[in-house]
Chain A
Amino acid sequence: MREQRLQDILEHMPAGVATLQGAELRYGFVNDAMRAVIGQEAQEGRLVAEHPGIIPADLLDVMQQVYQSGRPFVAKAYRLVMSASESQPSELSYYDIALEPVREGGGPVSGLLLFAVDVTAQEQARQRAHELAIETRRLDTRLRVLTETVPQITFTLNAKGKVEYVSPQWYYFTGQPPTADLNAIWPLLIHPDDRLRILYQSDTARAAGTGWNYEYRLRRHDGQYRWLLSRALPELHAPDKPVFWHGALTEIHDQRELSEALRRGEAELRFLADSIPELIWTATAEGFIDYYNQFTGEYTGLTRDELGPTGWINLLEPSEQANAARRWVHSIATGEPYEGLFRMRRHDGVYRWHIIRARQLTDTRGPRWFGACTDVDDQHRLREVLQTQYDELARTNRDLDTFVYTASHDLKQPLLNLRGLFDELRRTASFKDPEEEEIQTMVDGALSQLDTTLQELAATVQDQRGLSAPAEALNLRSVAEEVLLGLRAQVQEAGATVELNFEEAPSLTYGRANLRSIMHNLLSNALKFADPERAPLVQVHSHLSSTGQPTLTVQDNGLGMALPDAPNSVFQPFNRQHPHIGGAGVGMYLVQRIITSRGGHLEVASTVGEGTTFTIHWFDA
């Protein structure tokens, strides 16, 4: 009974159990677990040597030796190759093997007891642990190489803030010996001005369990303080329970000096720009203004926000805005400098002339625009006044020349008469007194001199002004437009409309300077004698008369004048119809002289309060 129960227990043990009997080692009892290891060949009575199953030869040898020597044998984690079955490929297993000699009743060894315990799982775990240890060592080495070759100083602090590790770079940088007491020395190497701040900040970060990121100066081996950036992160073992802080120190001295210099430079430039009594601004590469100096605010009375990135356009005189905007877009597209003369509104609504200039600067920060608006209003107005005065003087000068020319011409006939009369006198009268004889000669000489002077006068202005230039075919419109260009200031000031209609007789064969002089006088008179009650309207028409002769009418809606009964007296020199209005008063006289000298005549019709119409008949048929 007991034997049977023992057998049952052995049969169901999770370890393999087998007895091997006799010196020739035949299988005796083999439990299921052992048969699963060795294979189905392990049947009672069979020779082990003939049916070893998966038992390798070396183990068979050991069995023989244990039997002969009587000394037990134990092999830990013995490797067995499980045979491949149809369903499974062969695989490695590990067994703790024990061979125990069996003696019956204290006699000689009569058999062996074989135990096999599967330790595959343990062995695999052990092997994995081993591989992991190797990998860890490898990573550790890599980490060490990295931490010791990067330019940064790396460090680890513990929860109390004591240094656990610092990379060798720290020693290179500070020049401290490897024996230095890091915790004592480190704070002393921090710049005195930064020390308290840094100790406080790192304490605070450790207390809060957070990382940090700050800059401070650390004393280098040569005694120089250099700016470093310190960054560290906590290593958390339990949530919100940091044990270590790992971090790195990066030298940022040069960057910091550079950005400091940039900041200083920029601040100085801003200060400079703000001190200049001119509108100074900068714009982005896209053309949006991002800075206006202080004076811009004072001049415009607007804040930077109110001005906005393109708001400067609104400040320009409305008729100039579109052109200014188009040119700015063009400059942004091409990079070409911007330059223009514009009227710009001051805070009180007054427009002042400005030269706006901008140029593009390209540097490492990409293109940017720098601009200035220079107030040139005073110069501009002065120039306009001077131009008007110059025009006026030039015209008067021309008129005077013409006057001299026509006057000298007009004086020729009386001089001729005088000489005739004088000759007649000499011929009929008898002079007895020799003094009278002398006076006669003197009068004669004076008359000749007068004649020469008149001729020379006429010749001089004639040359200068081309007044006697030969007639040429002239385009009336182009001459009229030329004259109007000279009068544009007057036209603008009066707000006058001038209508030109030369369709019927577009050209005229005439002296160019004469035609210009005539047109100039008629048009400037029409503007000058405008009625302040109405917007001046001047209509200039060319016609052909019924006989095919060219005529020109200049009609205005001005003050008009009372015409005297005697024809032509309006045009006596220095006869002024409207004494309150400026002018030399010789203009109309000249016009008439020119026209008559070239074989035509001038007609005038006028109504006071309605206007005046001049009609020129260029050539009397």
Chain B
Amino acid sequence: MIHIVYMSRAVRPLSDQELQQMLDQCRRDNASRNVTGVLFYSHGNIAQLIEGDAAVLEPLFEKISRDGRHSNVVELVKKNIAARSFSDWSMAFHPLQSSGFDALEGFLLPDHLRQPPSTLTIADAMMVDLVRLAVFGPDAVATEPAEPAHA
């Protein structure tokens, strides 16, 4: 089992409808192929973590990176993992019309995101935190004041 994390830019802003279509299609396809993970979207910034069998994930990532809806796809990490950290596939974004989305399965508001699961190594959890920060900006991601590192 592996996971892949990448970041990209949408070629043009995605509408609520496009995002919802993507959520529907990806949730269906990913569930059937045992792919789990999460996608962050805001103002054209995209970051995604996907996990699953290498035989499924590698061609899927090939396809995603060729998808004409986004470009500048930068793979940040691809590595073996011992276990999944996400139970399904979900998407976090700020819909323009907020009504109606709350009820959608697999949809999350960015401020309702939980801390990265503890099954991730600290280095991987930090990567998820960093891509979330890069997508949603510092205002949306409250970083708690760090305690001083001591000797």
A interface residues (Cβ-Cβ under 8 A, vs B): 285-288, 308-314, 320-330, 332-334, 339-342, 353, 380
Contact of B133 among A310, A321, A332 (CB under 8 A): A332
Contact of A288 among B124, B130, B143 (CB under 8 A): B130
Could you pull out 12 A-B pairs where Cβ atoms are within 8 angstroms? A285-B134, A287-B134, A288-B127, A308-B79, A310-B130, A325-B126, A325-B129, A326-B144, A329-B143, A330-B144, A333-B141, A380-B151
Contact indicator A310/B150 (Cβ below 8 Å)? no
Shortest C-beta distance, B106 to chain A (Å), equals 25
Chain B at the A interface: mostly helix, strand, loop or mixed? mixed
Given contacts A322-B122, A342-B149, contact A286 B141 (CB under 8 A): no
Given contacts A313-B123, A313-B126, contact A330 B145 (CB under 8 A): yes
Contact of B149 among A308, A312, A334, A341 (CB under 8 A): A341
The CA-CA distance from A122 to B151 in the complex, in Å, is 99
The CA-CA distance from A325 to B131 in the complex, in Å, is 13
Given contacts A310-B126, A325-B123, A342-B149, contact A288 B133 (CB under 8 A): no
Closest residue on chain B to residue A325 by CB atoms: B126
Chain B residues, Cβ within 8 Å of A333: 133, 138, 141, 143
| B146 in the interface (beta carbon within 8 A) | yes
Closest residue on chain A to residue B78 by CB atoms: A308
B interface residues (Cβ-Cβ under 8 A, vs A): 7, 76-77, 79, 121-127, 129-131, 133-134, 138, 141, 143-151
Chain B residues, Cβ within 8 Å of A310: 77, 123-124, 126-127, 130
The CA-CA distance from A324 to B129 in the complex, in Å, is 13
Q: Which 8 A-B pairs rank lowest in CB-CB distance, beginning with the nearest?
A: A340-B149, A327-B146, A313-B123, A333-B138, A325-B126, A286-B134, A321-B122, A330-B143
Contact indicator A309/B76 (Cβ below 8 Å)? yes
Shortest C-beta distance, A391 to chain B (Å), equals 15
Contact of A327 among B124, B141, B149 (CB under 8 A): B149
5 additional A-B pairs beyond A325-B125, A330-B146, A342-B149, beta carbons within 8 Å, are A320-B149, A329-B129, A329-B130, A332-B133, A334-B143
Shortest C-beta distance, A590 to chain B (Å), equals 32
Which among A308, A311, A329, A332 has the highest number of chain B CB atoms within 10 Å?
Answer: A329
Shortest C-beta distance, A167 to chain B (Å), equals 37
Contact of A341 among B134, B144, B151 (CB under 8 A): B151
The CA-CA distance from A321 to B7 in the complex, in Å, is 24
Shortest C-beta distance, A580 to chain B (Å), equals 32
Contact indicator B151/A314 (Cβ below 8 Å)? no
Closest residue on chain B to residue A339 by CB atoms: B149
Shortest C-beta distance, A280 to chain B (Å), equals 20
Chain B residues, Cβ within 8 Å of A288: 76, 127, 130
The CA-CA distance from A320 to B141 in the complex, in Å, is 22
Contact indicator B149/A309 (Cβ below 8 Å)? no
The CA-CA distance from A613 to B35 in the complex, in Å, is 62
Chain A residues, Cβ within 8 Å of B79: 308
Shortest C-beta distance, B146 to chain A (Å), equals 4
Contact indicator A308/B133 (Cβ below 8 Å)? no
The CA-CA distance from A312 to B121 in the complex, in Å, is 12
The CA-CA distance from A286 to B47 in the complex, in Å, is 12
Contact of A323 among B77, B123, B146 (CB under 8 A): B146
Chain B residues, Cβ within 8 Å of A325: 122-123, 125-126, 129
Shortest C-beta distance, B29 to chain A (Å), equals 28
Shortest C-beta distance, A366 to chain B (Å), equals 12
Contact indicator A311/B123 (Cβ below 8 Å)? yes
Closest residue on chain B to residue A329 by CB atoms: B129
Chain B residues, Cβ within 8 Å of A313: 121-123, 126
Closest residue on chain B to residue A387 by CB atoms: B151
The CA-CA distance from A416 to B133 in the complex, in Å, is 80
Contact indicator B125/A287 (Cβ below 8 Å)? no
Chain A residues, Cβ within 8 Å of B141: 333
Chain A residues, Cβ within 8 Å of B7: 286
Shortest C-beta distance, B34 to chain A (Å), equals 25
Closest residue on chain B to residue A313 by CB atoms: B123
The CA-CA distance from A469 to B112 in the complex, in Å, is 59
Closest residue on chain B to residue A328 by CB atoms: B126
Closest residue on chain A to residue B141 by CB atoms: A333
Chain B residues, Cβ within 8 Å of A309: 76-77, 127
The CA-CA distance from A342 to B127 in the complex, in Å, is 20
The CA-CA distance from A340 to B138 in the complex, in Å, is 22
Shortest C-beta distance, B63 to chain A (Å), equals 23
Shortest C-beta distance, B12 to chain A (Å), equals 22
Shortest C-beta distance, B120 to chain A (Å), equals 11
Given contacts A313-B122, A329-B133, contact A334 B138 (CB under 8 A): yes
Given contacts A308-B77, A323-B146, contact A286 B126 (CB under 8 A): no
Shortest C-beta distance, A355 to chain B (Å), equals 9
Contact of B126 among A329, A340, A341, A342 (CB under 8 A): A329
